[in-house]
């Protein structure tokens, strides 16, 4: 009487391992892009409160000088965690420059620059439209896509 073979052959196991390797080679870069885009979106969201407070301060004071110090008055501090790793505000122009947790494929943090309109353009206006730029806007696969976070 012939005995029935049980288990997997070596070739069957090698095929399964090869399939898993191919799927991992595709999935890991996609996952890395996804997490970077999530950090870029989080950075834009975290800077919204700073933009709002600075705009309100500018409307009251008429200058950026008193509005650029985070933690002073009503200007909030920015949490430097996984979404934003560094942030600076120019007291002369109100430009917010930050390095985000979103990275290039080489691991370099993407920059996110928010520029307010000039003081002359704000006279008599209630809304302050900020212009976004930096590498976060030009690296769509790992940063913000056009139309997100103020990116053109």
Distance CA 151, CA 132 (A): 5
pLDDT tens-place string over residues 29-73: 899 999 999 999 999 999 998 998 998 888 888 888 888 888 887
Q: How far apart are CA 50 and CA 35, in angstroms?
A: 24
- Tens-place pLDDT, residues 99-126: 999 999 899 999 999 999 887 777 667 7
The C-alpha atoms of residue 138 and residue 151 are separated, in whole angstroms, by: 9
Residues 6 or more apart in contact with residue 84 via CB below 8 angstroms: 43, 46, 47, 78, 98, 99, 100, 101
Q: What pLDDT was estimated at residue 124?
A: 67
pLDDT digits (tens, 9 = 90+) for 4-36: 777 888 999 999 999 999 999 999 989 999 999
The confidence score (pLDDT) of residue 6 equals 79
DSSP assigned state of 126: S
Residue 1 has pLDDT above 70, yes or no: no
151 and 144 in contact (C-beta within 8 Å)? yes
């Amino acid at each position: 009487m012939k005995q029935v073979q049980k288990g997997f052959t070596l070739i069957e196991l090698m095929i399964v391992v090869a399939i898993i390797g191919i799927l991992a080679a595709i999935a890991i870069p996609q996952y890395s892009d996804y997490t970077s885009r999530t950090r870029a979106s989080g950075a834009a969201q975290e800077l919204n409160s700073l933009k709002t407070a600075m705009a309100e301060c500018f409307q009251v004071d008429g200058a950026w000088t008193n509005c650029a110090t985070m933690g002073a008055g009503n200007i909030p501090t920015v949490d430097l965690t996984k979404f934003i790793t560094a942030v600076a505000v120019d007291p002369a122009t109100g430009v917010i420059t930050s390095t985000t947790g979103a990275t290039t494929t080489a691991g370099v943090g993407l920059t996110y620059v928010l520029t307010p309109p000039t003081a002359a353009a704000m006279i008599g206006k209630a809304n302050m439209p900020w212009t976004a730029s930096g590498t976060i806007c030009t690296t769509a696969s790992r940063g913000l896509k056009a139309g997100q976070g103020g990116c053109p």
